[in-house]
């Protein structure tokens, strides 16, 4: 991982994300880019005027000073001394401004803060984080308010045991290895035990051809209410991070779109959520047909 992009609106909900982004950048020896997106709300006439140009220059300078002061206040040192690159972006749509800078800096991970209740709730109810997860070519890490940064020891990946999961896990291992963190691959199913175990056996065989990471464990959980079972599992083991794959409306994710299931995740609010998007997994080197997207 070479570049981590942290986006902030200067609010309290962004503080935990700043600490998390900085901690990850130090551990992973990655460049941290801190950005703020603002909108001057212009019209065509003002855009071509000298007055507007001067206002724009002043706005960029003011926000740069503000972002530098924000980082210094919460990290205890000047961003330059911490090797943090400060960037200001003008865009009427926050997520588009973030993605523009992410593309420019070839970002490997975007880190954002979320308001108190749950990153999953914001994720599925159309927030900026949701737009980022849908559009970004890199994974997005949502850090809830009040989260304390600790080096990763236990990561939970909610898997559908599909071929696309293998590519996600391959990327996830690159994050886990520097921490020597354990990865729990949990599959929640309402199928009978024999069918679920056959599916697990198939997935293990596929995974071992692509990924070698000794600190990997497989768990099966059963229940008619898939998301409630996942919630119980996460609360039971208390991981440092939850990882999910946006599946464009099928598999486990389709259940998350039901409002009642989203509300159940309120208790998950203290867990960081790392989201990959299926359409971007493995990018150009991905060859999904290799694994056949088989499901039993």
pLDDT in tens, 109-147: 999 987 644 444 443 333 677 778 778 889 999 888 889
CA distances from 278 to 192, 208, 223, 286 (A): 27, 20, 25, 11
Question: 44 pLDDT band (50/70/90 cuts)?
Answer: very low
Mean of the per-residue pLDDT values for the chain? 80
In the chain, % of residues over pLDDT 70: 76
Per the rule left: phi > 0, alpha: psi between -120 and 50, beta: everything else, 272 is beta
Q: What is the pLDDT of residue 248?
A: 57
Question: 280 pLDDT band (50/70/90 cuts)?
Answer: low
Per the rule left: phi > 0, alpha: psi between -120 and 50, beta: everything else, 29 is left
SS3 220: strand
> If we measure between CA atoms, which residue out of 74, 58, 101 comes closest to residue 10?
74
Longest alpha-carbon distance in the chain: 72
pLDDT in tens, 157-172: 988 888 888 989 999 9
Greater pLDDT, 285 or 262 = 285
Determine the length of the chain. 296
Domains of the chain: 3-144 (3.40.50.620), 154-290 (3.40.50.620)
């Amino acid at each position: 991982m070479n570049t981590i992009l942290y986006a902030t609106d200067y609010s309290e909900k962004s503080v935990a994300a700043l600490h998390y982004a900085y901690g990850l950048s130090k551990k992973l020896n990655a460049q941290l880019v801190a950005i703020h997106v603002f909108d001057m709300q212009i019209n065509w006439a003002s855009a071509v005027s000298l007055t507007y140009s001067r206002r724009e220059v002043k706005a960029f300078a003011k926000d740069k000073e503000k972002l530098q002061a924000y980082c210094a206040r919460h990290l205890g040192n000047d961003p330059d001394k911490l090797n943090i690159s400060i960037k200001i972006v003008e865009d009427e749509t926050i997520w588009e401004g973030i993605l523009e800078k992410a593309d420019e800096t070839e970002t490997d991970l975007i880190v954002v803060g979320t308001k108190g209740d749950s990153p999953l709730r914001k994720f599925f109810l159309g927030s900026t984080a949701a737009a980022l997860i849908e559009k970004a070519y890199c994974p997005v890490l949502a850090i809830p308010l009040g989260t304390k940064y600790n080096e990763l020891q236990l990561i939970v990946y909610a898997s559908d045991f599909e071929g696309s999961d293998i590519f996600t896990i391959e990327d996830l291992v690159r994050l886990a290895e520097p921490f020597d963190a354990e990865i729990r691959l949990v599959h929640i199913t309402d199928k009978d035990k024999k069918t679920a175990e056959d599916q697990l056996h198939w997935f293990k065989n596929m995974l071992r051809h692509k990924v070698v990471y000794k600190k990997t464990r497989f768990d099966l959980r059963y229940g008619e209410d898939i998301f409630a079972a996942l919630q119980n599992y996460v609360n039971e083991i208390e991981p440092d991070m939850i990882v999910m794959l946006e599946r464009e409306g099928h598999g486990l994710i389709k259940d998350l779109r039901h409002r009642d299931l989203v509300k159940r995740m309120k208790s998950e609010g203290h867990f960081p959520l790392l989201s990959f998007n299926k359409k971007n997994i493995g990018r150009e080197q991905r060859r999904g047909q290799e694994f056949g997207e088989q499901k039993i």
